A and B are shown apart, each in its own frame.
Chain A
Amino acid sequence: MKKFITGNHAVAEAVRLCRTQIVAAYPITPQTPIYEKLSDWEAAGELGGIMMRTESEHSAMAACLSASLAGVRAFTATSSQGLALMHEMLHFASGCRAPVVMACVNRTLAAPWAFWSDQTDSLSQRDTGWIQIYCEDNQEVFDSVIQAFRIAEGVLLPCMVVLEANYISHFMEPIEVPEQEQTDRFLPPVKIPERFDVDNPSFVAPVVSQVQFEAFRHLSYEAMSNALDVIEEVDRDFGDHFGRNYGLVEAVGLDGAELALVTTATITSTARVALAGLREKGHRVGLVKIRVFRPFPTRILREILEPVPRVAVLERNLSLGREGIFCSELKAALVNSEKPHHVQGYLAGMGGTNVDPDLIERVVIDALSRERVSDEPIWMMEKK
């Protein structure tokens, strides 16, 4: 059935439909409505699983990790400082190959203190060994949470579904919510290794030798590489069940394009509107959405961008001392292409500032007319 709900409530709906057995979390703006909704349902006896109200995000992830090692389907949600506090446990979860699923609501990291969208919090967790999926609207968030459990449990790696503060978390939109039986047919009951046996107590993360550590890392590396195929397969199957799918990346109007505008998350949705206007005016521009960031879809990006001479990356995050993080990743993915590309980075929407079709149009016109590409990102700042 169709429901008119926020992105946060879409996450909660998906978590309940997935028959999640344990939710361990700590409230933080702008994620709190996920936690509150799940709590309401638990109090009304409508959740199915149980909530653990932990004393911190670090403990929340420790609880999810432990539950997952016991063979239980576990979920948490956080944002910003909460995710930063979890950092140590994020490595632990992926190292233990625990298929925990998390919703991360992108929010600025302090200082200064703010509540709005900025992708630097989740991107700062790039190297923790988590799968990361970036969503552009409420429906995609809902669908991606359901997909995430199957992906994570399929490759035994944790998975983060990323949604933006305000533009998704607090935007209310209609979404399609399937029936429980339909969800059950797509997502079978959890079946992951039960590594805690109460009758035969043992230690799951013992000290290992150098050689053993290297071997474990190699196994994790293979699992993450394999995740690319699994994500595609799960997404295709999701399409068969629900009539919607998303891919690792999405290309729009790249045939004959002189410029590819590369975006992620909600900027993509607004860019679809801007793109239609630009093409009407005769600009040869296409759009590429990067949905999956870890594992990075290098091969497919190289293939679809191969015939396009110019690339502009527009994003809402920053690695100080370098540039936007998707831009760096994309440059690295293209460096072994047959033909060189001109890749120009643009920063906009930082701290949740507004990215509208006018701004996107200015980026595209600049990228099309620019004679020299700058190694520095170009800031599209709001005047204040």
Chain B
Amino acid sequence: MQEIKFHGRGGQGVVTASQMLGLAYFKGGMYPQCYSLFGGERRGAPVVSFLRVDQKKILLKCEIKNPNQLIIFDASLVDPDEIRKQVVPGTKILINTSKMSDVIERLRDFTVGIIDASCIAENLRLGHVINTTILGAYCRLFESLSVNKVIEAVMEMVPAKKSENAKAVIEGNNRVTLIKGRR
């Protein structure tokens, strides 16, 4: 079973990202289960969302404590020590950032995908909503889902700028940098 955790901030489309990814897996014949945790919904506040994916019905009705896939929309939310405590060995991590930083250096034992989603989304006039770019990068890093399935889900769920969002998926997929884990 894949257990995916999304970290980000209100306004970046974190919750919708988890739902669109769930829908993409659903369209691919899988059984997804998606939920989010947020208190007072406000822009900029930390938001986490979760997605389980399996081939058969998921019976668990509890929180994901130890994800095996991690998607980080904002590098300032990353604490490598905290991540190390949470994730299971072999976890891959996707991070939205514009530069190689000390944080990423400290996560070098994991396979990491780096994508400058904020820049791509901005250029496509999508503002702070980077979720579709992130999902494009996701397909390349995790290799468990085709880009076309993600685009299909994006087309069904985004309320506006459909063609820009489809482009964002493709751009994200093309421009993600993969760094193999050291162990």
Contacts and interface: CB of A to CB of B under 8 A. Distances in A.
A4 B62 contact: no
Contacts of B32: 4, 172-174
Nearest to A164: B61
Nearest to B18: A172
Interface stretch (A77-85, A179-187, A269-277, A302-310): A269-277
Contacts of B62: 167, 270, 354-357
A233 B34 CA distance: 34
B40 to A, nearest CB: 10
A203 B63 CA distance: 52
Contacts of B69: none
B135 to A, nearest CB: 16
B133 interface: no
A147 interface: no
Nearest to B19: A172
B22 interface: yes
Given A4-B22, A4-B23, A4-B26, A172 B60 contact: no
Contacts, number: 56
Interface size grouping (class) on chain A: 20 to 34
Contacts of B39: 115
Contact of A269 (B23, B35, B60, B63): B60
Given A4-B22, A270-B60, A272-B59, A171 B65 contact: no
Contact of B34 (A136, A168, A172, A272): A172
Interface string B38-80: 0100000000000000000011111101000000000000000
Contact of B31 (A170, A174, A266, A355): A174
Given A172-B19, A172-B32, A174-B32, A137 B61 contact: yes
B60 A171 contact: no
B36 A170 contact: yes
A166 interface: yes
A273 B59 CA distance: 7
B61 A136 contact: yes
Contacts of A270: 59-62
A172 B59 contact: no
A137 B58 CA distance: 10
B22 A266 contact: no
B97 interface: no
Interface string A206-247: 000000000000000000000000000000000000000000
Nearest to A271: B59
Given A166-B35, A170-B35, A356 B59 contact: no
B33 interface: yes
Contacts of B60: 269-270, 273, 356-357
Contacts of A168: 61
Contact of A172 (B35, B61, B63): B35
A173 B65 contact: no
A170 B60 CA distance: 14
A166 B61 CA distance: 10
B156 to A, nearest CB: 10
Contacts of A273: 59-60
A171 B34 contact: yes
B18 to A, nearest CB: 9
A356 B35 contact: no
A276 to B, nearest CB: 9
Given A2-B26, A269-B59, 14 more contacts: A4-B26, A115-B39, A167-B62, A172-B22, A172-B32, A172-B33, A173-B58, A174-B26, A174-B31, A174-B32, A270-B59, A355-B62, A356-B60, A357-B62
| Smallest CB-CB A-B distances: 7 pairs | A266-B61, A356-B62, A172-B34, A4-B26, A354-B63, A167-B61, A269-B61
12 contacts: A2-B26, A4-B26, A4-B32, A137-B61, A170-B36, A171-B61, A172-B22, A173-B32, A266-B61, A270-B60, A272-B59, A356-B63
Interface of A: 2, 4, 115, 136-137, 166-168, 170-174, 266-267, 269-270, 272-273, 354-357
